[in-house]
């Protein structure tokens, strides 16, 4: 796995993102490259492997690793292999706007899961990812859930479609480009039409592109300006052992009610 190193190797005229080099912070770039690399690896990795993957010298990587270990973001094993600690996870949960939304969402999501008999999760759009920030299992033995902290697709998930549908055209292009895709190639007339229809009806209901026999039911949690702050999604699975289990229509109604409650609370009207 190799990360794009073009940003540090630009000519004096500017960097890969078009900003003058005088605004760059190479040491910070190196530290962030290490954190992003370790986030993609399940087991520890050696200093030499990190240096090779990032195209850096061993000395550069050693200094960065030493600082990250000292600050508690990275740990070094007895075998001199490195992996992430939970410090970044802890910091992410101190972010107050996210904390507030999650704290408001959890009781509403639990009520939905209880009434619908289904799992649900809340997805926020970050600069280059859609992240599951809250998740509740269904109350029964059988349900399909998405892991807390998981990154989900923008183009191939109900959550992604909802985020796009309630974004401005400029925001849509930015979200798509940040994920390395060509906005013109993604935003075809057919896809634009689908997003417009989705917004008009108020929800997404599509077959999962990841798991067979699962439907993505997704609705927006709206802010004061009508923009989607988040997507509330139920990975709906049909229950064959319960004749009284809510069907997709009933589950969508419960999901829409939950999202409306969250939208009102976020606006301070409830």
Q: What is the pLDDT along the chain (270 residues), one digit of tens a residue?
A: 444 443 444 433 444 445 556 667 888 889 999 999 998 887 889 999 999 999 999 888 998 999 999 999 999 998 899 999 878 876 765 666 788 889 899 999 999 999 999 999 999 987 668 999 999 999 887 778 888 989 999 999 999 999 999 998 988 998 999 888 999 999 999 999 999 999 999 999 999 989 888 999 999 999 888 889 899 999 999 888 777 889 999 999 999 999 999 987 654 434
For strand 151-152 and strand 120-125, is the pairing parallel, antiparallel, or unpaired? unpaired
Beta strands in the chain (DSSP E): 45-46, 74-76, 81-84, 120-125, 130-136, 151-152, 204-207, 215-222, 228-236
The verdict on domain 6-88 having CATH code 1.10.510.10 is no
The verdict on domain 93-267 having CATH code 3.30.450.40 is yes
- Residue 171: is it exposed, middle or buried by C-beta count within 10 angstroms (0-12/13-18/19+)? middle
Q: What is the pTM of this model?
A: 0.67
The structural domains of the chain, with segments of one domain joined by +, span 6-88, 93-267
In this structure, what token pair is assigned to residue 216? 């993505």
d(CA 220, CA 214) in angstroms, rounded, equals 19
In this structure, what token pair is assigned to residue 191? 């896809």
Contact 126, 159 (CB under 8 A): no
d(CA 87, CA 100) in angstroms, rounded, equals 20
């Amino acid at each position: 796995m190799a990360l794009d190193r073009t940003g540090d190797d630009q000519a004096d005229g500017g960097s890969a993102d078009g900003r003058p080099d005088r605004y760059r912070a190479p040491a910070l770039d190196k530290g962030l490259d290490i954190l992003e690399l370790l986030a993609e690896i399940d087991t520890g990795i050696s200093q030499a492997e990190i240096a090779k993957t990032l195209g850096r010298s061993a000395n550069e990587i050693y200094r960065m690793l030493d600082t990250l270990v000292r600050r508690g973001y990275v740990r070094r094993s007895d075998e001199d292999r490195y992996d992430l600690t939970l410090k970044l996870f802890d910091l992410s949960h101190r972010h107050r706007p996210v904390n507030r939304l999650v704290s408001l969402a959890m009781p509403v999501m639990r009520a939905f899961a209880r009434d619908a008999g289904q799992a649900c999760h809340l997805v926020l759009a970050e600069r280059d990812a859609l992240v599951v920030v809250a998740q509740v299992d269904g109350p029964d033995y059988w349900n399909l859930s998405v892991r807390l902290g998981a990154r989900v697709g923008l183009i191939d998930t109900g959550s992604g479609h909802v985020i796009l549908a309630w974004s401005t055209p400029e925001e849509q292009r930015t979200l798509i480009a940040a994920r390395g895709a060509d906005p013109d190639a993604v935003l075809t007339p057919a896809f634009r039409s689908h997003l417009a229809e989705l917004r008009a009806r108020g929800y997404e209901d599509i077959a999962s592109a990841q798991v067979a026999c699962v439907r993505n039911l997704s609705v927006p949690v709206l802010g004061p300006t009508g923009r989607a702050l988040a997507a509330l999604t139920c990975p709906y699975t049909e229950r064959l052992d319960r004749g009284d289990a809510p069907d997709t229509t009933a589950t969508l109604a419960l999901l829409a009610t939950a999202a409306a409650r969250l939208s009102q609370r976020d606006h301070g009207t409830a």
